[in-house]
């Protein structure tokens, strides 16, 4: 009887583990897909910007400065994009590690498992908060740059007057 019960439990555990690995795989696939679409969107935006730049009339000296600034902004946006991708990859790696921990634990005790899952959720929340902070910092940088280019434009306007 005991042995039968143990076997049953083990089967259940294995099933659960399989389910979790499948779920993880799906999540990763979704993330990859999302990343691809974002990359495409960025590429498209870059192409549009390039076209606009080529269409623009031959620049006045002040205009040139503005264009350079716009290019800097675009580069910053691209860097932002890359950083976000790296963060996503780090999260993926962490999730894989967590999954391994869960598997080891299933062989231990169920009460402990619940506790560890809670800890993992907290870790993920902290990570998300960090991401939000980083995005806010980058937005601030962009706002500063836009402000600078606005001041330049007003200077140009008064100079032309």
Query: Which DSSP string do the residues of 32-67 spell out, in sequence order?
Result: HHHHHHHHHHHHHHHHHHHHHHHHSPPPPHHHHHHH
Please report the pLDDT score of residue 101 as a whole number.
67
3-state secondary structure of 107: coil
Please report the pLDDT score of residue 129 as a whole number.
76
Domain that holds residue 49: 2-160
pLDDT in tens, 105-127: 555 555 555 676 777 777 777 77
pTM surpassing 0.75?
no
3-state secondary structure of 115: helix
Lowest mean pLDDT segment, chosen from 27-31, 40-44, 55-59, 132-136: 55-59
Element (H, E) at 149: helix 110-160
CB distance 63 to 153 below 8 Å: no
Q: Which of 126, 122, 146 minimizes the C-alpha distance to 134?
A: 126
How many domains are contained in the chain?
Answer: 1
Show the DSSP H helices in 56-109 as ranges: 61-106
Q: 49-78 in b/e burial notation, b at 16+ Cβ within 10 A? A: eeeeeeeeeeeeeeeebbeeebeeebeeee
**pLDDT > 70? residue 17:** yes
pLDDT in tens, 37-80: 999 999 999 999 988 888 876 555 555 666 666 666 666 666 66
Band of pLDDT at residue 104, cut at 50, 70 and 90 = low
**Terminal Cα-to-Cα distance of the chain (whole angstroms):** 96
CA 26 to chain centre: 17
Please report the pLDDT score of residue 13 as a whole number.
93
Instruction: Supply the DSSP symbol for 108.
Output: S
């Amino acid at each position: 009887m005991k042995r039968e019960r143990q076997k049953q439990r083990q089967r259940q555990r294995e099933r659960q583990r399989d389910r979790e690995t499948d779920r993880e795989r799906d999540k990763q696939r979704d993330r990859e897909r999302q990343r691809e679409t974002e990359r495409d969107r960025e590429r498209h935006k870059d192409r549009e910007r390039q076209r606009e730049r080529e269409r623009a009339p031959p620049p006045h000296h002040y205009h040139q400065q503005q264009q350079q600034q716009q290019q800097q902004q675009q580069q910053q946006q691209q860097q932002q994009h890359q950083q976000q991708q790296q963060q996503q990859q780090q999260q993926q790696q962490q999730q894989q590690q967590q999954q391994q921990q869960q598997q080891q634990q299933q062989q231990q005790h169920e009460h402990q498992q619940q506790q560890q899952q809670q800890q993992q959720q907290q870790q993920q929340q902290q990570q998300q908060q960090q991401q939000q902070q980083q995005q806010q910092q980058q937005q601030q940088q962009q706002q500063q740059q836009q402000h600078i280019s606005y001041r330049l434009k007003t200077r140009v306007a008064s100079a032309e007057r």
